[in-house]
Amino acid sequence: MKDGNGLTRFGVSLSSKLLKDFDGLIARKGYTNRSEALRDLIRDSLVQAEWEAGDKETVGTVTLVYNHHTRELTHVLTDLQHHYHQTIISTTHIHLDEHNCLEVLVVKGKARDIKKIADRLIGTKGVKHGKLAMATTGKELA
């Protein structure tokens, strides 16, 4: 079995009405399988707990939008990213238009360290907008 994990099957009981509504919601979201939708809710609650704990290794993505004409900004961001090169795995750069750039960084480390790096990048003068998405290494999520 993948990841060395056996499969378990267990029963959930709930009202027919609740089940019907849930089936409707997940169909609209594109799920073809109820177990998969439940596993996603379960995994999402575990990932949330991981980020609240703060000290486990996890992965996040930081999305930055900025104007590359802003004086020195490109240098400052590059320097900052190199400073954290052991934690930042990759950076993808998109030329949104003549002026605006979007960068997505994949960052791996302890939740609280990723948050700090995200704060530093988002707080850099000239960065218009920044957002941290809390993901996972996937290791603990079978």
> In the window 64-123, what residues touch a copy of itself (CB under 8 A)?
65-67, 69-70, 89-90, 92, 94, 96-97, 99-102, 104, 106, 108, 119-120, 122-123
The CB-of-33 to a copy of itself minimum distance in angstroms stands at: 6
Residue 114, CB half-sphere, CA atoms under 13 Å: how many? 30
Residue 25 binds a copy of itself, judged by CB under 8 A: yes
- State how far the Cα of 134 lies from the Cα of 106, in Å rounded to an integer: 10
- State how far the Cα of 81 lies from the Cα of 10, in Å rounded to an integer: 46
Residue 29 binds a copy of itself, judged by CB under 8 A: yes
Residue 53 binds a copy of itself, judged by CB under 8 A: no
Residue 66 or 81: the one with the smaller Cβ distance to a copy of itself is 66
| Helix, strand, or coil (residue 102) | strand
What backbone phi and psi angles, to 5 degrees, belong to 126?
105, -20
